[in-house]
Amino acid sequence: MLIVKKFGGSSVANKERIFNVARRCVEEYQKGNQVVVVLSAMGDTTDDLLELAATISDKPSKRELDMLMSTGEQVSVSLCAMAIQELGVPAVSLNAFQVRMRTSRVYGNARLKKIDRNRIQSELENNKIVLVTGFQGVNRYDDVTTLGRGGSDTTAVALAAALHADACEIYTDVDGVYTCDPRIVPEARKLDEITYDDMLDLATLGAQVLHNRSVGMAKKYGVELVVRSSLSDAPGTIVREELKVERKLISGVAVDKSPARISLIGLHDIPGIAFKVFNLLGSQGISVDIILQSVGRDGTKDISFTVDRKNLQDALKVLEANLSKLTAERIEHEENIAKVSVVGAGMMTDPGVAAKMFEALFNADINIKMIATSEIRITVIIDEINADAAARAVHNAFLPED
């Protein structure tokens, strides 16, 4: 069997953890399997590298940031290869350039396009455990790119698809996918299995246990995933197309502490204003999430929307520069907000879901700032300080203990 195993940052955070990963890989190898290992950078290395860059420049070049961030994963794969060799098993570490993992051009958020199998396959045929850097690729200019924060999961799934692996195991610091982040909601329950669709919704709305693109890719190529703990032998959660048991109406609650709100006040209430605002932001590569427009009064209206906090300053800058063209009186913004979503296919058929969510927040005395709904989720924007309490209140209203 060919098995792809991915270990996240906390699973390789120090020497002991690296030897723990090495041992798990060696055990698999000694069962007669071929083993490809994808690693993230050790512990908080990626954050530390970003902080280091900030000591040099307020606005470092995106190309150089990717060059810098990609070093973290090289440290962990080379150290882990050494640890496996110490255990008496041949191993080789490869970076994205050596594998030839091609991505789109864009730095910081590149998409994997094509993976060359040759080098990995020849190393496997030489009976080596192959360790591959997660989170990085190479674009058409032969420059290093990164896949977005948390992107090592996507590297693992892409490798599993390209190599037609028999299993793809994502090892992390929790023992599976829960109905909500177990660090925020201790009552959250571990799921034995979850569909690609439900997992994709949860990941997209903030459940960082899997990179959302890794889930989309797993669905596209039919790669069954197992999410499990690197520190225990608990069975974990299987992510697949169909469930063995009936699909639950509410799959979980997701929390996202990364948004910021921008409001444009006093816009002229005439056609074309929303187009101008969002076209301007789009042209700067800034994506917008929840949008609210007020009903026009006295010929003016307000538009509020959320962006990722890391794009807030860029968004404010371009909007300020175009204030009169957009006909806005002024701009307001707010950084310390959070997004809490209840997710599930049951939303489509149950008109009471929204009321139940708002009641749970009311009972917890939490004020709602913005609301967005679709057939599969209801999202509220609240003050970040209330995020954990809101998640607990909403989770316990929809997914009470059995």
Between CA 242 and CA 223 the distance in angstroms is 12
Residue 344 touches ligand ADP, criterion: CB under 6 A: no
- The rounded Cα 128 to chain-centroid distance in angstroms is 31
- The rounded Cα 334 to chain-centroid distance in angstroms is 23
In DSSP terms, which residues pair with 160 in a beta bridge?
none
Residue 236 touches ligand ASP, criterion: CB under 6 A: no
Minimum Å distance from CB 148 to ligand ASP?
8
Between CA 264 and CA 284 the distance in angstroms is 18
Residue 149 touches ligand ASP, criterion: CB under 6 A: yes
Minimum Å distance from CB 257 to ligand ASP?
15
* Contact window for ligand ASP (CB under 6 A) among 39-47, 106-114, 217-225, 311-319: 39-47
Q: Which of 8, 137, 151, 259 binds ligand ADP (CB under 6 A)?
A: 8
Q: Which of Mg ion, ligand ASP, ligand ADP, none binds 72 (CB below 5-8 Å, type-dependent)? A: ligand ASP
Minimum Å distance from CB 110 to ligand ASP?
13
Residue 4 touches ligand ADP, criterion: CB under 6 A: no
Nearer to ligand ADP, 41 or 366 (CB): 41
Residue 236 touches Mg ion, criterion: CB under 5 A: no
Nearer to ligand ADP, 230 or 386 (CB): 230
Residue 134 touches Mg ion, criterion: CB under 5 A: no
Residue 48 touches ligand ADP, criterion: CB under 6 A: no
Residue 206 touches ligand ASP, criterion: CB under 6 A: no
Residue 135 touches ligand ADP, criterion: CB under 6 A: no
Report residue 23 as tokens. Answer: 């041992």
**Contact letters (x/-) for ligand ASP, 119-138, by CB under 6 A?**
---------------xx---
Between CA 199 and CA 240 the distance in angstroms is 9
Residue 396 touches ligand ADP, criterion: CB under 6 A: no
Nearer to ligand ASP, 44 or 269 (CB): 44
Residue 175 touches ligand ADP, criterion: CB under 6 A: no
Minimum Å distance from CB 39 to ligand ASP?
9
Q: Which of Mg ion, ligand ADP, ligand ASP, none binds 177 (CB below 5-8 Å, type-dependent)? A: ligand ADP
Residue 150 touches ligand ADP, criterion: CB under 6 A: yes
Q: Which of 8, 206, 252, 259 binds ligand ASP (CB under 6 A)?
A: 8
# residues near ligand ASP by CB under 6 A: 12
**Contact letters (x/-) for ligand ADP, 367-386, by CB under 6 A?**
--------------------
Between CA 318 and CA 322 the distance in angstroms is 6
Per DSSP bridges, beta strands 337-343 and 330-334 are: unpaired
Residue 46 touches ligand ASP, criterion: CB under 6 A: yes
- Confirm if 178 and 252 have CB atoms less than 8 A apart: yes
Instruction: Catalog residues that contact ligand ADP under the rule CB under 6 A.
Output: 8-11, 40, 150, 172-174, 177-178, 180-183, 202, 207-209, 252
Instruction: Catalog residues that contact ligand ASP under the rule CB under 6 A.
Output: 8-9, 40-41, 46, 72, 134-135, 149-152
